[in-house]
Amino acid sequence: MKFQHISVLTGLMAAGVLALSTSSAQAFSFTTNSTYNNKPKDDIWLKSVQLKDGTIIDDFALVNKANIIYNDAYKGGNSGAASADKGDNAQGIVAEDPNNQQVVAALGNLNLNNIIDGEDSGKFIMNLFFDQAVDQLFFWERGMNSDLAVQAIDADGNVIGNLLKMLRSEWDDTGYKIDTTEISGSQKVGSRGVSLADLGLSGYSSITGIRVSANSSFNGPDFKVVGAVAQSVPEPASLLGLGLMGGMLVISRRRQATNNG
């Protein structure tokens, strides 16, 4: 993949951030419901996900904007870092040296056989924005043998919260496989879910984007991500106001009881 126009200092700072990410995210498990029919080369459409408590989510936000901050140069073969890949017989695009629009084409749909393919020793950093605000993230990783770092970003692409690393040992087997153009056979797909609390954003009700990254030690994550459309909930300030109102009502009732006594 080609280097984007960034300074050497920016690249070194980014590499330093990745190097400091040694802890694992407290990610959660979920079940993937899809159109998979034992055909790992074909389109595999995501229908819904089911959480451990039985909640079914089928209202998804999709990636509609990408900004490649850093991507190792593609020099042929298995060089480079992140590329766009798809199942051999699936709809979608293949791009060894993707631009921002091609990253969106790979991730901005519900086809689980459209992915970003990472090379084993490659390094990449990219910002991904969703078409709607999200309050949960769902990741899939082909091979279940790579790590992936994720951090929330604001509307301007500034990182917020904590940088979390999903370890290769933590992926849950989804029960389906994919076979894409860059591999010679089918591989298992793993999944993990990430909440806003996992990203260090307990005071937030939603986010609009994330930064995903990997370095040479991550073993080339091959991933797909979608978000759960955020539900309408009171902002932290509103919750505080409701709490104060409730406390005043309790005090008022206690005073009335004292006076009546």
Q: Which residues in 167-176 are b (16+ Cβ under 10 Å) and which e?
A: bbebbbebeb
Q: Give me the pLDDT at residue 78, please.
A: 65
Considering all CA atoms of the chain, what is the largest pairwise distance in Å, rounded to the nearest integer? 86
Q: Would you state the pLDDT for residue 211?
A: 98
Domains of the chain by residue range? 8-230, 236-261
3-state secondary structure of 190: strand
Query: 120-170, pLDDT tens digit by residue?
Result: 889 999 999 999 999 999 999 999 999 999 999 999 999 999 999 999 999
Three state DSSP letters for 101-156: HHHHHHHCCCECCEEEEECCCCCEEEEEEEEEEEEEEEEEEECCCCCEEEEEECCC
Q: Report the run of H or E that residue 240 belongs to, with start and end.
A: helix 236-260
Look at residue 75 in the predicted model and tell me its pLDDT: 67
What percent of the chain has a predicted confidence (pLDDT) above 70? 77
